[in-house]
């Protein structure tokens, strides 16, 4: 569990915009660390500006829940829950982009971010969550430990930042 110097909290649109430098730095650190997050290397913090502004806008429209992990006053991690937009899926959400800066790993922040996202999704009536992650990476084991159910593996689904193909594991979890 995170120590008393850490905090997990849901971010508003304004808070997300205020945290933009830290969000961009954390995303760049994760991409440059090899995480398959939809971005290719080289990836600089400034390259994340448009992405995070889009996330902040979606938070403002009520389409996404964004949680931040803070170490002191520095945001060092985040996770999102995107709400399914189809009329026949009012109960479903997509867990997206669990990120923790390499400088802040080993403090339990991933687990705490996941707990906050799952709780927030359930409170919002989104009791079925889905996610995908690169097969064989640390996150795969984390999701299993947190009770997520594996649906299957899609071969060559995406690319790692260095251009290699990676298989993707799809998970689901009921949170209500």
- Owning domain of residue 148: 6-174
Q: Which of 116, 11, 103 is nearest to 60 (CA)?
A: 11
Tally of residues, the chain: 176
User: Are the C-beta atoms of 74 and 23 separated by less than 8 Å?
Assistant: no
pLDDT digits (tens, 9 = 90+) for 126-138: 999 999 999 999 9
Look at the pTM and tell me if it is higher than 0.85: yes
Give the CA distances from residue 32 to residues 23, 113, 139, 160, in Å, rounded to whole numbers and listed in that order.
14, 21, 16, 10
Mean pLDDT over 122-127 rounds to 97
Q: What is the DSSP annotation of 2-20?
A: --TTEEEEEE-HHHHHHTH
**Tally of domains in the chain:** 1
Mean pLDDT over 167-171 rounds to 98
pLDDT digits (tens, 9 = 90+) for 15-29: 999 999 999 999 999
Query: How many whole angstroms separate alpha carbon 168 and alpha carbon 155?
Result: 6
- DSSP label of 119: H
* Residue 157 domain-assigned (yes or no): yes
Does residue 74 have a cis bond before it (omega within 30 degrees)?
no
Mean pLDDT over 116-133 rounds to 98
Percent of the chain at pLDDT exceeding 70: 98
In this prediction, residue 176 carries a pLDDT of 82
pLDDT digits (tens, 9 = 90+) for 144-168: 999 999 999 999 999 999 999 999 9
pLDDT digits (tens, 9 = 90+) for 54-112: 999 999 999 999 999 999 999 999 999 999 889 999 999 999 999 999 999 999 999 99
CATH of the domain at 12: 3.40.630.30
CB atoms within 10 A of CB 5: 9
* Residue 151 domain-assigned (yes or no): yes
Query: How many whole angstroms separate alpha carbon 96 and alpha carbon 12?
Result: 17
* Residue 127 domain-assigned (yes or no): yes
* Residue 129 domain-assigned (yes or no): yes
In this prediction, residue 136 carries a pLDDT of 95
Q: What angle do CA 82, 86, 92 make, to 5 degrees?
A: 45
* Residue 1 domain-assigned (yes or no): no
* Residue 83 domain-assigned (yes or no): yes
In this prediction, residue 4 carries a pLDDT of 55
Residue 28 tokens, joined: 């760049």
Query: How many whole angstroms separate alpha carbon 117 and alpha carbon 123?
Result: 10
Percent of the chain at pLDDT exceeding 90: 95
In this prediction, residue 2 carries a pLDDT of 47
């Amino acid at each position: 569990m995170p120590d008393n110097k850490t905090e997990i909290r849901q971010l508003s649109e304004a808070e997300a915009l205020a945290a933009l430098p830290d969000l961009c730095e954390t995303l760049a650190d994760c991409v440059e660390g090899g995480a398959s997050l939809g971005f290719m290397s080289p990836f600089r913090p400034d390259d994340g500006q448009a992405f995070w502004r889009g996330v902040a806008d979606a938070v403002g429209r009520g389409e996404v829940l964004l949680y931040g992990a803070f170490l002191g006053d520095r945001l060092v991690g985040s996770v999102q829950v995107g709400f399914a937009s189809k009329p026949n899926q009012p109960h479903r959400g997509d867990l997206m982009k669990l990120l923790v800066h390499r400088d802040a790993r080993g403090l339990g922040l991933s687990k705490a971010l996941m707990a906050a996202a799952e709780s927030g999704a359930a409170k919002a009536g989104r009791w079925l969550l889905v996610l995908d992650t690169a097969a064989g990476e640390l996150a795969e084991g984390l999701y299993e430990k947190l009770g997520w159910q594996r649906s299957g593996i899609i071969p060559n689904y995406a690319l790692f930042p260095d251009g290699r193909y990676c298989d993707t594991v799809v998970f689901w979890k009921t949170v209500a």
